[in-house]
Structure 1
Amino acid sequence: MTSEKLDRRKKYTRMVLKDSLLQLLKQKSFSQVTVKEICERADINRSTFYAHYRDQFELLETIEDEIVMDMKQYMNTYNLQEKEDALKMTEKLISYFAAKQEELIILLNVSDETSFERKVREVAQASIRSEWIISEQTDQQLSSYLTAFIISGSVHVLKMWLLGGMEEPPHKMAKLINNLINHGIYGTDWEMFP
């Protein structure tokens, strides 16, 4: 068999296993999901599962890490010190989240049992600390509070948006988040949601 066929088969198997786990997470908590159930849903035998993943924890971590890596790529593409770039990056990131809505809702709902939300926060914190609001003159403790405030607020706004059916388009959400970050509540243009 050619390596191309093997690669396609490997990709397909991993895709089916990921989809099966996500479907199970719609019905039950992660602590109740077994490898046997994932394999039954995927119509794959357990030895095939173990050829790809150690257990269901590694499978879930792989799903989380793929999204986190995509986030890092979006965030590293833009210079967040430039307002236009920050807005473009936020819009691209929100559009990506919209495309991954189902996965993100599932992953954020199991976040008590997984590290997904923590990983998202760490990526955002690293990006903000490296080039956005933190300057050499900023007090280290103050900068920690600022980044925690910005990240927590942004994550919760995005969760509300995803769970609420994403009624507003990504560009409006990006504008809202960036205005809140850059200008606070009183400096924000509230006319963006007519």
Structure 2
Amino acid sequence: MELLKDKDYCDITVVELLEKADVGKTTFYRHYERKLDVFLAIHDSLFESFFQDLTTLEDWLSLRPRSSVIAMLNRISVQSSFRRSMSYKLGNDAPQAHRQLKYNLTTLIEQRLAVAFETDNFIIPLPCLASSLAAVYLDFISQLFSDQLSYSVEDKAASLQRLTQALLRAAIER
């Protein structure tokens, strides 16, 4: 995380990761196969933070965005002043990173929805619904990084919550 504050992912080397973490090569490769795995692990942690307040049916269906979502969008907005596109920043790892981030986020959303809802009531299969929500969240976040949304973080969070609520209501209406 420290390195990503000052450099784009594609400009960070494994050697820099080793130095920053104060670990040897063997230790690094015991836990990670490549630099991308560190990036994905960081995002898994960020996704958990993003959804920490979405635990009940009421949280998901509320029109009021959760504080964890607002906090994460604030964090993203502060860090979105980079000039390069996300694909450029990820370099050769971009296609695999995008696929894996979507998969990981879909899995997290699916788990959270299964706990909060009676998933037998969904008319849209849970994996499809979770994948759609993950796509909405990732697209929304990428818009924040590209600064395509020029309104307040609270308004951004409210818009994202309304999109989430609309998808969920469509999935449970009979």
Give the shorter-chain TM-score range. 0.5 to 0.7
**Larger Rg, first or second structure (1 or 2):** 1
Tell me the CA shift for residue 112 of structure 1. Answer: 0.9
Higher relative contact order (CA 8 A, sep 6+): 2
- One-letter amino acid of the structure 1 residue matched with residue 34 of structure 2: E
1:125 to 99, 110, 114: 110
1:87 to 57, 66, 84: 66
What does 1:1-194 correspond to in 2, within 5 Å?
A: 23=8, 25=10, 38-39=14-15, 49-54=24-29, 57-82=33-58, 83=62, 86-101=65-80, 105=86, 106=89, 110-114=93-97, 115-131=100-116, 135-139=119-123, 142-164=125-147, 167-183=150-166
Q: Judge conservation of contact 1:90–1:174 (CA < 8 Å) in 2.
A: yes
Q: Distance in 2 between matches of 1:65 and 1:71?
A: 10
Q: Distance in 2 between matches of 1:91 and 1:111?
A: 27
TM-score (ref. length: structure 2): 0.62
| Ranges in structure 2 where 5+ consecutive residues have no aligned partner | 168-174
- One-letter amino acid of the structure 2 residue matched with residue 98 of structure 1: S
Q: Distance in 2 between matches of 1:97 and 1:64?
A: 16
Give a deviation string over 1:64-96, Cα, whole Å, max 9, x none. Answer: 212312321442344342226753332233223
Tell me the CA shift for residue 181 of structure 1. Answer: 2.3
- One-letter amino acid of the structure 1 residue matched with residue 43 of structure 2: I
Tell me the CA shift for residue 175 of structure 1. Answer: 0.6
Taking only aligned residues, the RMSD between alpha carbons, in angstroms, comes to: 4.0
Q: Distance in 2 between matches of 1:57 and 1:166?
A: 36
TM-score (ref. length: structure 1): 0.57
Q: Distance in 1 between matches of 2:92 and 2:137?
A: 17
| Ranges in structure 1 where 5+ consecutive residues have no aligned partner | 1-13, 27-32, 185-194
Q: Distance in 2 between matches of 1:178 and 1:125?
A: 17
Q: Judge conservation of contact 1:87–1:175 (CA < 8 Å) in 2.
A: no
Q: Distance in 1 between matches of 2:67 and 2:91?
A: 24
Q: 1:23 to 1:136 in 2, by over 3 A?
A: closer
Q: Judge conservation of contact 2:54–2:66 (CA < 8 Å) in 1.
A: no
